Amino acid sequence: MDLWHLLFLGSGGFVSGFIAGILGIGGGTLLVPLIVTLGYLPIEAIATSSLAILMTAMFGSFQNWSLGHLQLKKVIYLAIPAGLTAQLGVLVANKIAPYLLLAGFGLLLLLNVTLISLRKSLAHKQHPNSAPKPTTQSSVQQTTARLTTGGTAGFIAGLFGLGGGVIMVPLQVILLGENIKAAIQTSLGVIVITAIFACGSHAMSGNVLLAEGICLGIGGLFGVQLSTRFLPKLPENMVIFLFRGFMGLLAGYMFVKAWHSYLAT
């Protein structure tokens, strides 16, 4: 890699790390399109993204923990099913055509916009004059919700090279009744576990680009340090607006890449 290539990767890693801390999504939603744009195969982009995400999420979660914004008990409950299903996602990713992976990635991003909008609509109907409050659930309901949230996020992490936060954040809001800031902070902690399993499985398949992944990860460390300190100061409506807008823009980009990939087959 030449100097400009390294600078481009480092800058992309910084932006993805900042987004990871603000939105709790691991940064893979930016990294995968970035790596694909540089000419790498989608499976290589997904695998390399998981390495960079691991580095970023570890640092960001430590930062949240040191600031008192991370509840380890919540992380563990979601991380156990997520770690198990991440490997299944990797197996599926290795068998899917590149254009289908890209299109699926775009659909996933749009799904998240819909989930967040649905939760806000339901909360407004139930509490029109107050902020949304967590719903009362039995232990069985909580366990089922955590298994569903963590398991789905883990599968998504392995399949699309994400930390799993793009699905974990809205599912925590909808199924567990968390506010979006708490969901983001918990999500980033769980991402550490899903990224370990996803990156390890991809590495054994020979899909991880080590130098590129480390370069992206180093850039991400600086970005996430800034954003985890910045997140608690942001109004919740602004965080939701940023989450929706970012998901929508990237979904459109991935559909375009999927179409070009399909035409090339």
Predicted local distance difference test score (pLDDT) of residue 137: 63
- What is the pLDDT confidence band of residue 150, given thresholds at 50, 70 and 90? confident
Question: pLDDT-based confidence at 132, cuts 50/70/90?
Answer: very low
Which band of pLDDT confidence, cut at 50, 70 and 90, is reported for residue 154? confident
Share of the chain above pLDDT 70, in %: 83
**Dist. CA 141–CA 248, nearest whole Å:** 31
Binned at pLDDT 50, 70 and 90, residue 30 comes out as confident
| Cβ–Cβ < 8 Å for 229, 67 | yes
Name the pLDDT band for 6 (thresholds 50, 70, 90). Answer: confident
Highest mean pLDDT among 22-31, 40-49, 136-145: 40-49
What confidence score (pLDDT) does residue 162 get?
66
The amino acid at 83: G
Confidence of residue 130 (pLDDT cuts 50, 70, 90): very low
pTM for the structure as a whole: 0.66
Q: Is a pLDDT exceeding 60 seen at residue 177?
A: yes
Say what the pLDDT of residue 208 is. Answer: 92
Mean of pLDDT over the chain: 79
- The ranges assigned to domains in the chain are 3-263
11 Cβ neighbours under 8 A, 6+ residues apart: 219
Q: pLDDT at position 27, please?
A: 66
**Is the pLDDT at 133 greater than 60, yes or no?**
no
Residue 13's Cβ-side half-sphere holds a number of Cα atoms within 13 Å equal to 29
* d(C-alpha 130, C-alpha 56), whole Å: 35
Residue 138 has what pLDDT? 72
Euclidean distance between CA atoms 50 and 161, whole angstroms: 5
How do residues 68-95 score in pLDDT, each as one tens digit? 878 888 888 898 898 888 888 888 888 8
Of residues 32 and 20, the one with the higher pLDDT is 32
pLDDT of residue 164: 67
> What is the model's pLDDT at position 23?
65
Chain centre distance of CA 33: 13
